[in-house]
Structure 1
């Protein structure tokens, strides 16, 4: 079974408060994008996980693909599988690549073994693996709250080209959160996103940007370059370090040079 495991970007990200459990209350719009890892999953005599492409650090046992399989194997009598992950989405980029991998493994195991788990059940399993894993179960634009696991369908129009740039900088989500000062937004994101897209740049913010930009000025420079290229909106995605820009038409990204990972694709939300 071959599965495309796509990334996401954050349109706006408000860090509202720190919770007693150590997590933060957030508000963000998650948008799935056409930039994917590739998963290959098959039944096997014994379990194995391998990866190629971008190197994954750390113990295999802690990998979200492995944990996703083990989560279902603990509750259901399923055979071992082999999982091969072709990693293309940068790690530490604010694109949710690992969370996506976990969610798509859950969905693949559900299909492969005919478990007939409904969407809500799969979302509950996904939430045990990571704050934004649940988003990738339905994989549709959503307003995220709580720690990112509470999802509400959101209706707005966005038809544009998205330029996504990864500056080869790894930003630790944990460190990024430690430097943010939570605050209640004056106007909630659900309301702001209904306004004209030409006004988004001055109203829709990512609360991680000030502290991340202070530590990594290159990321801010990259955002400004994208705005100068004609983007009607540009921001860092998640806790960084990827930066994206929305354009009314496809752009020539060669001006950015060849030192970054650059992707460009259409976004069509009705």
Structure 2
């Protein structure tokens, strides 16, 4: 059984508090986009995972295997082999690993007729990663807490061309959080996205940009270049290093190819 696991972008990301458990509270809006990994799950005599087009290691820490083992604790499911074709760049703030793991949960649920409800799938996904639950329903959602408290939000970017730019920089989540300074946002993100999109650049921010732009000026330069090319809004996604731009019209982005990989990624 085959599934396409899509990426996401973050419209705004505010780190509001460091918790006693070491995690951080945040607020953000997750938005799905059309950049996909491809996952196939099939019955097998031995458990296995093959990863194509990536340097990722197929070890026990891989989220896809952890997703299988999570369901295996509660359900009698047979051994499977998972084939993963990576297209979503890693260390990019696009949620590729989380999307892959959530796709495995869904595939196992469908293949073996486990009849796990949507809400229960979200609970399983939340055990794998803070943004995994979002990928269960794949629609614009406002997230709070560590990213697992989700609420539907009205947001439609279908009128815009979404472009992702990924420089040859890998930023781990741990690295991004080490330098971030929690702060109370000046405006509620749910109110900010109701403003005309041309005003977003003045009101909607990604808190990770402040420290990561200083360490990786190329990411800052890519964001500036997207605005020069006519983006109505541009931002780093998640904890980076990818930057996305929203354009009203298609534009020539060939100049960006010397800095990074460019991915057209219209809304899902």
How does the TM-score come out when normalised to structure 2?
Answer: 0.97
What are the Cα deviations for residues 57-92 of structure 1, in whole angstroms up to 9, with x where unaligned? 4x6100000000000011101111110101111111
Q: Aligned partners of 2:166 and 2:237: how far apart in 1?
A: 10
Provide the residue aligned with 2:75 in structure 1: 76
The reply on whether 1:198 has 2:206 as its aligned counterpart is no
1:119-268 superposed matches below 5 A: 119-158=118-157, 159-267=159-267
Q: Aligned partners of 1:257 and 1:93: how far apart in 2?
A: 16
- Aligned residue for 1:263, secondary structure, equals strand
What are the Cα deviations for residues 207-244 of structure 1, in whole angstroms up to 9, with x where unaligned? 00010001000000010001100000000000100000
Q: Aligned partners of 1:257 and 1:200: how far apart in 2?
A: 26
Q: Aligned partners of 2:43 and 2:107: how far apart in 1?
A: 11
Q: Aligned partners of 1:154 and 1:256: how far apart in 2?
A: 32
Provide the residue aligned with 2:27 in structure 1: 27
Cα drift, residue 265 of structure 1: 3.2
Q: Aligned partners of 1:258 and 1:85: how far apart in 2?
A: 28
- Aligned residue for 1:128, secondary structure, equals helix
Q: Is the 8 A contact 2:43 2:81 kept in 1?
A: yes
Quote the RMSD (CA, aligned, Å): 1.1
Provide the residue aligned with 2:101 in structure 1: 102
> CA distance change for structure 1 residues 156 and 259 in 2, over 3 Å: closer, same or farther?
closer
Cα drift, residue 157 of structure 1: 3.3
Cα drift, residue 54 of structure 1: 1.6
What runs of 5+ residues in structure 1 fail to find an aligned partner? none
- Aligned residue for 1:187, secondary structure, equals coil
- Aligned residue for 2:265, secondary structure, equals strand
Q: Aligned partners of 1:99 and 1:265: how far apart in 2?
A: 18
